[in-house]
Amino acid sequence: MGAVKDIPARAVPKRALDYAEPILPGMIPDESELTAGVTIVPGRSYGFFTDTTLCIGCKACEVACKEWNALPADDVGLKGTSYDNTGRLSANSWRHVAFVEKIGGDLDAGEGRGTERNTTTMPPFQSNWLMMSDVCKHCHNAPCLEACPTGSLFRTEFDTVVVQQDICNGCGYCVPACPFGVVDLNVADGKAHKCTLCYDRLKGGLEPACAKSCPTDSIQFGELPDLVERARERVDSLHERGATDAYLYGAPGSPGATGDLGHLNAFFLLTDRPETYGLPSAPTRASNRVAPALGTGLATMAGLTMVAVALFAANRRS
């Protein structure tokens, strides 16, 4: 929904009054204007800005995603990893809320950490119990998309990355290609799956299910340039208010947007090392290694072929 910066404008938009009837004949057109203040137009770039300093770890995003996409339960059981019983993103879990308890201080404090609970004098904003809703990053130069040999993975008219289920033949090459461990094969149906950024909803002018449900607007959906601007302002204001740990992950020029990946359409505001949330600091674009490998390989073959030719030709002369 609305940006953090314009909270007063977070009130219900005037346009809602056009639909004051209790029972409506159909869905509200361009509903995303009411829920996210965004009009969804093909040809523009959309993404998520996930602000962990607003996340209350309620997992509404996980539920909304599963309810909309009809995803079955996944690897069910108590995991003993704080309140995280999802574990990781998978073919059946396209949103995953990570929980990191730091009540006893920095996880790297080593010996003696946890003996003193510094819970009462907390750095401002979610800090001693990290919660972060992870999702497919919809990379600008997406390794999964670049690796996909069938064209099943493609870039949509909304600049998002989607696996087309009517094309995928389950070769599985996108799985190791992803630098964030997102894409996953469902052995049951033999296809690769991941967040589609609600491709079908975008086509109908609807905000993606997870962002729409997010109670605190920790997950914000919008047009990429707006989101990035909003995110930078958020970091600035957090630093002004003493939360100097805050930084962007995946925005242009930030950690995560490295190794020629370009920016990530789904980027984050974090307050601890990327690794603490299970994210790499400097992922790289896999396809950058095609040319070096192929080139060197062929050169090797050329060299060895020369050797063989020489030996065979020598034989001929004798």
Partner 1 sequence: MQQDLQTHKPGAADRPYQGVGYYGQPALKASPFGWKTSGYIFLAGMSGSAQILGTAADLFGGPGMEKTARNARHVAMIGATLGPLLLIGDLHTPSRWYNMLRIFRRTSPMSIGSYILSGFGAFSAVTAAADWIGMKRVARVTQVPAALAGAGMSVYTAALLSSTSTPLWAAAPRLLAVRFGSSAMACGAAALSLGERIDGRPGNAERLDRVAMVASAVDLAASLASRREYEADHVAAPLEQGALGAVHKIGAIAVGAGIPLVCHAINAGRRRPSAALSVLGSLAVLAGGMALRTAILRAGNRSAERPADYFRFARTPPNTLNERKRTLLPDTAARRVLP
Partner 2 sequence: MPQWDLANSDAILVMGSNMAENHPIAFRFALQAKEKGAALFHADPRFTRTSALVDTYAPVRAGTDIAFLGGIIRHILENNLWFRDYALNYTNISTIIEDDFLDANQNDGKFSGWSEKKKSYEYDSWQYKGEFVPSSLAEHFVNTTESFSDCTKRLKKGPTPKDETLQDPRCVYQILKRHFSVYTPEMVERVTGCPKETFLAVADGFCRASGPERTGAICYAVGWTHHSTGVQIIRAAAIIQLLLGNVGRPGGGILALRGHSSIQGSTDIPTLYNLLPGYLPQPHAHKPHGTLQDYIDHEATPTGWWHNFPKYMVSLLRAWYGEAAMKENGWCFEMLPKILGDHSQLPMTLAMQDGLIRGMFLMGQNPAVGGSNSRLVQSALGKLDWLVVTDFTETESASFWYEGHAVRSGELTPQDIGTEIFLLPTSLAGEKAGTFTNTHRLIQWHDKVVDGPGDSRSDLWFIYQLGRRLKALYANSAAVKDQGIRYLTWDYPEADGKGEPDAEAVLKEINGYTWSPDPAQRQQIPDFKELKDDGSTACGCWIYTGVFPKNDFNHARSRKADGADGPGTHLQWAFAWPSNRRTLVNRAAADPSGKPWSERKKLVWWDEEKGEWAGTDAVDFSKNKRPDYAPDWSTEPSGMDALCGTDPFIMIADGRGALFVPSGLKDGPLPTHYEPVESPVRNPLYAQQQNPTAKIWDRPDNPIHPPGDPRYPYALTTYRLTEHHSGGTPTRSVASTAELQPEGFCEIPPELAAELGIGMLDWVVLSTPRGQIETKAMVTERLRPFAIDGRRIYQIGLPWHFGWKGFATGDIANVLTAAIGDPNTGMHENKALTCGLRPGRLAPDEPRGRLRDVRQEGD
Partner 3 sequence: MKPRQPRKPGQSRPVLRRTLADRARDFLAEWSLPRQLSGESPFSDAAKSRMSHTLRPRLEEADTVGTNICPYCAVGCAQLIYAKEGRVIHVEGDPRSPINQGTLCPKGAATFGWLTSELRMSKVLYRAPHSDRWEERPLDWAMDRIAQLTKQTRDETFVETLPDGTVVNHTLGIASLGGATLDNEENYLIKKLFSGGLGMVWVENQARV
Q: Which residues bind partner 3 (CB under 8 A)?
A: 1, 10-12, 16, 19-20, 22-28, 31, 34-35, 58-60, 62-64, 66-73, 76, 145-146, 151-157, 162, 164-167, 189, 191, 198-201, 203-204, 206-207, 209, 212-215, 217
Residue 19 in tokens? 């639909």
Residue 184 contact partner, candidates partner 2, partner 1, partner 3, none, CB within 5 to 8 A by sort of partner: partner 1
- Burial zone of 273 (CB within 10 Å; 0-12 exposed, 13-18 middle, 19+ buried): middle
293 binds partner 2 (CB under 8 A): no
Query: What's the min distance (Å) between Cβ of 127 and partner 2?
Result: 8
Let me know: does 97 contact 86? Beta carbons within 8 Å: yes
* Residues comprising the chain, all counted: 318
- Burial zone of 288 (CB within 10 Å; 0-12 exposed, 13-18 middle, 19+ buried): middle
216 binds partner 2 (CB under 8 A): yes
Query: What's the min distance (Å) between Cβ of 123 and partner 3?
Result: 26
Residue 231 contact partner, candidates partner 1, partner 2, partner 3, none, CB within 5 to 8 A by sort of partner: none
Which residues in 103-142 contact partner 2 (CB under 8 A)? 103-104, 114, 117, 119-122, 124-129, 131
Which residues in 63-102 contact partner 1 (CB under 8 A)? 81, 84, 87-88, 98, 100
Distance CA 22, CA 198 (A): 27
Sheet strands (E) in 153-218: 153-155, 161-163, 184-186, 191-193
Residue 282 in tokens? 């400097």
Residue 118 in tokens? 């510094």
Let me know: does 138 contact 266? Beta carbons within 8 Å: yes
Q: Quick one: which of 13, 105, 205, 252 contacts partner 1 (CB under 8 A)? A: 252
CA geometry: angle 45, 71, 82, nearest 5 deg: 90
Residue 143 contact partner, candidates partner 3, partner 1, partner 2, none, CB within 5 to 8 A by sort of partner: partner 1
Q: Which amino acid is at 162?
A: V
Residues forming contacts to partner 2 in the complex (CB under 8 A) are 4, 7-14, 16-17, 19-23, 54, 56-60, 62-63, 66-67, 71-74, 76-78, 80, 82-83, 85-86, 101, 103-104, 114, 117, 119-122, 124-129, 131, 215-217
